[in-house]
Amino acid sequence: MSKYDIIVLGSGPGGYVTAIRASQLGFKTAIVEKESLGGVCLNWGCIPTKALLKSAQVFEYLKHAEDYGLKVKDAEHDFDAVVKRSRGVADGMSKGVQFLLKKNKIDVINGFGKLKPGKKIDVDGTEYSADNIIIATGARSRELPSLPQDGKKVIGYREAMTLDKQPKKMIVVGSGAIGVEFAYFYNSMGTDVTIVEYLPNVVPVEDLDVSKQLEKSFKKTGINIMTSAEVTKVDTSGKGVKATVKTNKGEEVLEADVILSAVGIKTNIENIGLEDVGIVVDRDKVIVNDFYQTNIPGYYAIGDITPGPALAHVASAEGILCVEKLAGQHVEPLDYGNIPGCTYCSPEIASVGLTEKQAKDKGLDIKVGKFPFSASGKASAGGNKDGFVKVIFDAKYGEWLGCHMIGAGVTDMIAEAVLGRKLETTGHEVLKAIHPHPTMSEAVMEAVAAAYDEVIHL
């Protein structure tokens, strides 16, 4: 039986990053993967979707070339080629992970891993043991009873990335990150898209002002939006699909070629031996302490299967923290109040910390500043004036409580707020930090200036 210091089950951005950091710290490490290295993120999530969205963005530019004083005749898209490019990007990234694991002398064990008592893993009949086992099996598309997926007319995100042909009409159920990203992509390609959202606002976890702006921007591009709406049943017996949608006004039947179910995720915790080992699970999540140890010594869990946010960068951070603690390093628990969230539709969305409503619900005395990109020179020059930066500060101490952005490139800007909050910066310190001109990032400084009644360009 092969013996390791650490075996990681799952090779997504949680698993492979954990394995590499473990190897760097001197642990003899192996990783178990049943499918492709890189997991959902690299193969079916974060990376290939961004490739699709980039194609959509380039096509949008071509369609609006005249806005920039350019002439492009008969710009067309090749749906198959767009999908093929996306798959090529994903394959390249997966090969990159393979190289990194080999470089760090990590053994890759291909197959379905099942946990066993005594700190062992059975991989398709072969047993491996370790001093520590880290579970990072991730999650998949969640299915609703009223919306069973058949992979053809009712699909999840995997099928949405590799459809044989572009649908003329699509219904997207759910307006979280996955839903609005695919809604933007297919609408840009020319599909008639309708979003059905159960809650009163799209992207419901975001600040209300952000939700309203996205709805406004989406409607401007022709996306139909139904909020406070629920799909109660689907009929796939005909050529396309019919969805019965219940709203405040009654029931309505929508017809489409395909329905994309984007109603959240389901953790991959079935049949991996959790019950055999005695690991405690609550509401579909593995229960862990601040350093990701389960209730059974020697077994750890990170990423989507634990109670934290189901985000790739969170899984990576948790895995690094877990193995650094195992190595005896002094580490502090992750601050889950300072996790950035990003959505890559157009306009992009990025946020960290409290929304305005959450701050008010806590009874905090706050200062709120908002700067629209319509007043930004860089945004005007780039033709991307939709959106804004919104900041929230504690009125008494100047603590940066939250930052919410919607607009072009904001997913690359949010790190300023994350770092500022980590370093416990104040509003005045942000205001006095010189931001380069002309840039989109100036809007952060201007929003802070607005909060303190010092805004210049508004």
Task: Tell me which residues are annotated as active site.
Answer: 437
H/E stretch holding 356:
helix 356-361
- Which among 183, 194, 228 is positioned nearest to 343, based on CA atoms? 183
Give the amino acid at 114. K
Structure tokens at 196: 């059905």
Q: Which residue has the tokens 């071509």?
A: 62
Give the amino acid at 129. S
Structure tokens at 178: 């996955």
Are residues 268 and 274 in contact, defined by beta-carbon separation less than 8 angstroms?
A: no
Per-residue DSSP letters for 45-81? SHHHHHHHHHHHHHHHHHHTGGGGT----S----HHH
Give the amino acid at 447. A
The verdict on whether omega for the bond into residue 333 sits within 30 degrees of 0, i.e. cis, is no
Backbone phi and psi for residue 193, each to the nearest 5 degrees, phi listed first: -115, 135
d(CA 391, CA 356): 9
SS3 (DSSP) at 82:
helix
Structure tokens at 44: 């079916």
265's CB contacts (< 8 A; 6+ apart) are 139, 140, 141, 142, 304, 310
Strand pairing of 400-407 and 348-353?
A: antiparallel
Give the amino acid at 73. K
The dihedral sign for the CA sequence 284, 290, 294, 298: positive
Backbone phi and psi for residue 421, each to the nearest 5 degrees, phi listed first: -70, -35
Backbone phi and psi for residue 457, each to the nearest 5 degrees, phi listed first: -100, 30
